[in-house]
Each structure stands twice: as C-alpha cells, then as structure tokens.
Chains A and B, each alone.
Chain A
Amino acid sequence: MLKITNLSVSVDKKKIINNLSLEVPTGKKVAIMGPNGSGKSTLSNVIAGKGGYEINEGEILYNNNDILKLEPEERAASGIYLAFQYPVEIPGIANSSFLRTAINSIRKYNGKKELDTRAFLEECKEICEKLNIDKSFLSRDLNFGFSGGEKKKNEIFHMLMIKPTLCILDEIDSGLDIDALKVISEGITHYSNKDNSMLIITHYQRLLDYVKPDQVHIFNEGKIIESGNYELVKILEAKGYKEFV
C-alpha cells in the first residue's frame, strides 16, 4: 500500500529524515517507535502532505502512485488519514459540521454524492457511543477546549467516520487514560482489516499490546535502525533505546 524509498527530508538545511526506506503492506499494522525528536511526526506530515519541508530525494508511492506532488486534500481523498499527535483547535467551527464538510469533500473528489445528513448524524452517534464520547462533542467547536485525551479520541472518531485505507496514527495513545486507551485500541483493531493498513507511531508498549502490530521498526535520526516483530517491543521496553542507537 505504502512504499517509501530512500527518502531524505530537511527543514532549513537540517536533515530530519535520512535516506529512509519503509513499506506498509496492505492489510498490515506497522509500528514505529523511536526517541523524541527522531523524526516520526515529520515522516507522518510528509506522507500526509504538509508544506514547509524540503524533499531532498526519494519517493513515496501509495498504491503505486507517486503522491509527493499531491495536495494534502488530494491525498486524503485517495484514502490517507493522519491522526495528529497534537490536534489543532478551531474555534467557530462545530466538530460535526467540520467532519461532514470533510467527508463530503472527499466524496466529491471521488465522484460520489453528498452524504445524507440524517444518516451522517446517526452514524456519528453510533460511533461516539462505541468510543465512549459524549454526544455534546459533536456540536462543540472543533477540539476547542477539549482535554488532551478528548482530542485524541476525536481523532479516532474522525478516522472511523472518514474510513480511510491508510491510517497514520501519531502517538494516538499519549494523553489517554487507561479506559480510553482500551476503547480506542478496540476501535482501531476493529477497523483494521485485510484491505487497509496502519502506521502506528507510539512510545509505549501498552497500545501495541492491544493492537498487535505485524511489524515493528525502531526509528532514530530519521531512519530505521532495527526491525522485527512484536517481540522487539518487549526488548525495547526492557532495555530502552540505548541498546540500539
């Protein structure tokens, strides 16, 4: 599904992603762990199309198409979704109407009709219930005044509504309480299937205990320094990054 080859990215001449190659196969969950500042969020942003980065070399293929020239909204329309490490607050725009606009915009790109408003709201309620999100969050301004954990839950709520094929989850577990982590993990696991893929960035074993990744990569200074399966998480948890860097 996603194939990154020899990717180097810099900001203001500072190299952040360093000749990285990474593959996320269809139907798989791939985890990335790595110390603070190693470039994980930068990678997520580059895949999702954020501006301000200089792509020095390499390519990112998504379903065999080069996506580096696409606008973020075009990438979203083709099924890429980024759950932000730090979701932004947008006062003045209600959560549900934002989401509906987003979904309809994606549908328009793909030549589909607009969503029926009532069906949309029904589904919103259903998914909120599943994620244990209070319905009042639908009418509140987008992330405005949400607690850290509530913002993260809302990111997964959006994901389940938008139904992307490649989900990039950047530290979705940070800030979540124990119960919320469980609910969110169940949501992610339940959504995952043979046709979609997950790129899961985290610092903690707990999320991966629930989600059970197929592959685990350790990331440092903008590249992968170790790869393995779930066992690698345990070693890392026991010994820390110093063993690897």
Chain B
Amino acid sequence: MNLLRFWKPRDIRSLYKVFLQDYISKISTEKKHLREKYWLNSEALLSHFNKENIPDNKIEEWKNFKTGFLKKTNWKIPELKNKKVQVDKKIKVTENSLFFVHGRYNSKISKAGNTKGLNVFSTYEYFKLNPSYKEKVYSNPEKYMEDRLSGIGDKKTTALIALNSLLNHGTVIEIEKEAKISNPINIINLSIDETSQLLISPYIIIICKQNSEAIFTEKTYTKNCWINGLSEIYLEKNAKLTYSKFQASIDNSIQTSSLNCSLKNKSNLDLKIFNRENCKEDIRVFLNDEKASAKISGIITSKERKESDVYCKVVHNGKQTFSDQSWRLLSSDSSKTSVNGKIRVNRLAKFSAASFSSKSLILSDKASSFSKPELEILEDDVKCKHGASFGEIDKNLLFYMQSRGIKKQDAIFTLVNAFLSEIGFKKFDIEEIVLKSIKEFFNIGNANE
C-alpha cells in the first residue's frame, strides 16, 4: 500500500466555505487561481462551465431530470480537512475501506494499509510518478461530450464534469499490475451536512493495470447536499473489475454524477448501479479494444414526486466487443424513473454484440417510468437487441398471497423484492442497501392504493 501524503489544492483551501457563485466569479476574474491548477486546463473548464452552466431539460440527456433546484440554490463549497471524523455506527467499516468525506479522500479514517496491490494517490503525485497517464486520465469534458449522429459533438452534456474538476483535483486508486484482490474494496462517500447546503464534488479515478482483478463497492451516504460526482475507470489489458455503485442514503440531497469507463483489450467490467430518487447518473462505457466486455445492471427507484434517471451509453470501438445492459425500474407515488440506454457501434467494431433490456414496475396510478433504448450501428457485422417492458403488480398474484394470509403490504414488498432480485445483485447488497430503501417506500408511499 502506497499512501502518499494527501495534497490539498491551495486555491480552494484559501477559499473554502464560500458560495459557489462567489468562487466562480472570483476565479473568473483572478486568473491566479487558475494557474495553480497545474495539470488540467482550468481555463478551458471554467469557460466551458460559464458558457454551458447547469444543464436543463432542453438537452436530450437531461429530459427526465429537473435541475431548476440546482440553479436556484446558492450552494456552498465545503471546508477541506483531512481530519478524523466520526463514522456512523450503522456504516460497516471493513478492512478495505476508503473514505471520502465531502468528496475528499480521508486517510485518517480509511483502512487500506494492508492490502497488497492497492494504492491511493492524489492526482498530483500520481502524474508525477506516471507522466504518461496524465494524457490518458485527464478531466477534459470534451473527451466525454456527446457524439450526435449528425456528427456534431455536443458539449452541453459535460458542463457538470467541468464544474466537478474545477472544485476537486481527484484521487487516484490504482490496482497494480497482476494484483488479484479478492476482498471487496469499499469506497464510502460521507457527505452529511446538518446546516448548510453544500456542493460536494467527489472525483475518483480508478486505474486497473494489466491482468489485475478487483471488486469495488461504492456507497454514498448523504444529507442536505448536492453531490456532483465524477468517476473515471480505466481498465488496462486483461484487467477485470466488478464495480457496484450504490446510493445508500439520499436524505434531502441531490446527486448528479458521471461515470466514464475506458476498456482495453480483453478487459472486463461488471458494473452494478443502484440509483435512487433525486439521482441522475450519466454512464459512458468505451470498449476501445478487441474483446473488451462490459455488463451493466442496475436498479432505478423513485418515490414521492421525485425523479431517478440514468443515462447509459456504451460505445463499441474495438472488434469483438461485448456489452449487456439490464435495468429494473421501480416507481411509487407520483414519482418518475427513467433510463436511456444508448448503444453505439462504431465502424470497424466488427463481430460485436450489444444488448439492452429494461423492466419497469409501477406501484401507483400516478407514478411513471420511461425506458428509451437507442441504437446507432455504423458497422454491419454486429448483433444488437433491445427490449423494454412495463407493468404493475399483478393483482392475481397479490390476491393469491393475501388469501394465504400474507398482508397486502408484505405481499407487495415480496413481489417487488422478487422483481428486483432478477437483476442478480449479491443478496447482501440487495438486503442491506436496496431493500432497506424500499422498506422506506412502504412507510411513506401509497402502495396500499
């Protein structure tokens, strides 16, 4: 374990606890702060964010997620301290636990010292040691902009990536070459704020070197915050990664996040997502080289009058690349769940296969769910399929269960559980995170009609 001293960016340190708007205008006028951002093009980021600002539903990718509240609120940038903080007893802390407090890696409470092959760096340190990576891992929003079929690159979708990178320089988690880490590595995001409305900008870069294997579970606990996250995942040749990203608690918070994954030859990504109400996840997976493969499965839930939205784009660039997306959506009350699954198979990605499927379960008359698979196939020799289904709780099943003595609420819960279990998450994750949140549904929701 190589745990280098955490680097605190000076520009923000001198400004912490300020309002976002003040910060943006300050760095816009005082170029000095920009110069201190030595490794990414801050000026470009800033002008990009100033130009595009927070996206709204005029942008295709943001149609199903309202952002008015984000614009209206005067967010504060959090204080930056790598100090010991109290961790809620309810949160399980295991051997491989990496804590991010208000979006920053906290070495004081993290426990990862004994795991061979796992290293945590500040980006500054990492790029000093691995200059070649600086070019690859580079928080440049243009890299992630949306390629429209018309051939136009749309930068509007990446304004929040720019904002994230302006506020956080990122942490690199590296899995060494040939390392096989079988115990799950837990990333725990703690952003609990009791008083002010904070804008949290976690930025995590995960680099899995050649022939490495690792399992990550990322859980976010938040209160009263806007979390605008960015994760970049790089799988080198033959690397294998299972990554679960679960929204554990969302107490009065909003999350918008980007997850960008680049895969090299024969590397394999197994991505599991639990996206709750008030969360918007923007996933982009690039299968860049031959035989790279990605399996993406996710549960998207929402309640009350809230929205839960996932955009997931898989781009096949290499030959014989494979991708599979599978989603389960659950809406109660007057809420909305949505998934937009885009598959783009670029020219020369011959013999590739891609699939998308989603099933939506709607628990009340006022709830809604949207599923939009989109295929852009620019190569002939490929196999693609997609399907989406929508349904309510089957009244006959419900009656059968009730007539055997099971209470209606319990019967609904059991059926929902069975529906979500189809996705094949680990039983523990389903029970600890997903079902816990769904139990809340049934206390608050109007599932009893």
Interface set of A (CB-CB < 8 Å, partner B) = 45, 48-52, 71-73, 75-77, 81-82, 84, 87-88, 90-93, 98-99, 101-103, 105-106, 109, 158, 162
B422 touches A92 (CB 8 A): yes
Alpha-carbon gap, A77 to B400, bound state (A):
14
A77 touches B399 (CB 8 A): no
The chain A residue with its CB closest to the CB of B418 is A92
**A77's contact among B394, B405, B410, by CB below 8 Å, is which?**
B405
A75 touches B414 (CB 8 A): no
A72 touches B415 (CB 8 A): no
B395 touches A76 (CB 8 A): no
List, in ascending order, chain A residues with CB within 8 A of B399's CB.
45, 48-51, 72
A105 touches B406 (CB 8 A): yes
B415 touches A88 (CB 8 A): no
Alpha-carbon gap, A105 to B401, bound state (A):
11
B406 touches A102 (CB 8 A): yes
List, in ascending order, chain B residues with CB within 8 A of A103's CB.
405
List, in ascending order, chain B residues with CB within 8 A of A99's CB.
404
The chain B residue with its CB closest to the CB of A87 is B400
User: Interface size on B (CB < 8 Å)?
Assistant: 22
- 9 closest A-B pairs by beta carbon, nearest first, are A92-B418, A72-B402, A76-B405, A106-B405, A102-B404, A73-B402, A102-B405, A88-B400, A72-B403
The chain A residue with its CB closest to the CB of B420 is A92
Give the interface SS of chain B, mostly helix, strand, loop or mixed: helix
Alpha-carbon gap, A52 to B6, bound state (A):
64
Q: Judge if B390 is at the interface, Cβ distance under 8 Å.
A: no
A42 to chain B, nearest CB (A): 13
* Total CB contacts across the A-B interface at under 8 A: 70
Alpha-carbon gap, A13 to B410, bound state (A):
32
B418 touches A84 (CB 8 A): no
Q: Judge if B419 is at the interface, Cβ distance under 8 Å.
A: yes
Alpha-carbon gap, A187 to B414, bound state (A):
30
B417 touches A90 (CB 8 A): no
**A82's contact among B403, B414, B415, B421, by CB below 8 Å, is which?**
B403
B422 to chain A, nearest CB (A): 7
Q: Judge if B396 is at the interface, Cβ distance under 8 Å.
A: yes
A90 touches B406 (CB 8 A): no
List, in ascending order, chain B residues with CB within 8 A of A106's CB.
405
Alpha-carbon gap, A48 to B403, bound state (A):
6
Interface set of B (CB-CB < 8 Å, partner A) = 394-397, 399-408, 410, 414-415, 417-419, 421-422
A92 touches B419 (CB 8 A): yes
B415 to chain A, nearest CB (A): 7
B407 touches A51 (CB 8 A): no
**Which of A45, A50, A72 is the most central at the interface, judged by chain B CB atoms within 10 Å of its CB?**
A72
Alpha-carbon gap, A98 to B410, bound state (A):
11
**A52's contact among B395, B402, B417, B418, by CB below 8 Å, is which?**
B395
B397 touches A90 (CB 8 A): yes
List, in ascending order, chain B residues with CB within 8 A of A73's CB.
402-403, 405-408
| Given known A-B contacts A88-B396, A88-B397, A93 and B404 have beta carbons under 8 A apart | no
**B415's contact among A90, A102, A105, by CB below 8 Å, is which?**
A90
A159 to chain B, nearest CB (A): 10
List, in ascending order, chain B residues with CB within 8 A of A51's CB.
395, 399
| Given known A-B contacts A88-B400, A92-B417, A92-B421, A109 and B405 have beta carbons under 8 A apart | yes
A9 to chain B, nearest CB (A): 15
B421 to chain A, nearest CB (A): 5
The chain A residue with its CB closest to the CB of B399 is A50
B406 to chain A, nearest CB (A): 5
Alpha-carbon gap, A38 to B180, bound state (A):
67
**Which of B396, B401, B405, B407 is the most central at the interface, judged by chain A CB atoms within 10 Å of its CB?**
B405
Alpha-carbon gap, A84 to B399, bound state (A):
11
Alpha-carbon gap, A242 to B405, bound state (A):
39
The chain A residue with its CB closest to the CB of B410 is A105
List, in ascending order, chain A residues with CB within 8 A of B422's CB.
91-92
A164 to chain B, nearest CB (A): 9
B402 to chain A, nearest CB (A): 4
List, in ascending order, chain A residues with CB within 8 A of B417's CB.
92
List, in ascending order, chain B residues with CB within 8 A of A90's CB.
397, 400-401, 415, 418
Alpha-carbon gap, A124 to B415, bound state (A):
23
A and B contact pairs by CB, cutoff 8 A, 15 listed: A49-B399, A49-B403, A51-B395, A71-B402, A72-B402, A73-B403, A73-B405, A82-B403, A90-B397, A93-B414, A98-B404, A102-B404, A102-B406, A103-B405, A109-B405
A101 touches B410 (CB 8 A): yes
Alpha-carbon gap, A198 to B410, bound state (A):
28
A49 touches B402 (CB 8 A): yes
B404 touches A84 (CB 8 A): no
The chain A residue with its CB closest to the CB of B422 is A92
Beyond the given pairs A73-B403, A102-B406, A105-B410, 15 more chain A to chain B contacts, judged by CB atoms under 8 angstroms and listed by A's residue number, are A45-B399, A48-B399, A48-B403, A50-B399, A51-B395, A51-B399, A52-B395, A71-B402, A71-B408, A72-B403, A76-B405, A84-B400, A99-B404, A101-B410, A103-B405
| Given known A-B contacts A90-B397, A92-B419, A105-B407, A76 and B402 have beta carbons under 8 A apart | yes
B110 to chain A, nearest CB (A): 37
| Given known A-B contacts A51-B395, A101-B410, A101-B414, A162 and B404 have beta carbons under 8 A apart | yes
**Which of B407, B418, B419 is the most central at the interface, judged by chain A CB atoms within 10 Å of its CB?**
B407
The chain B residue with its CB closest to the CB of A78 is B405
List, in ascending order, chain B residues with CB within 8 A of A75's CB.
403
List, in ascending order, chain A residues with CB within 8 A of B407's CB.
73, 105
List, in ascending order, chain B residues with CB within 8 A of A91's CB.
418, 422
Alpha-carbon gap, A3 to B394, bound state (A):
31
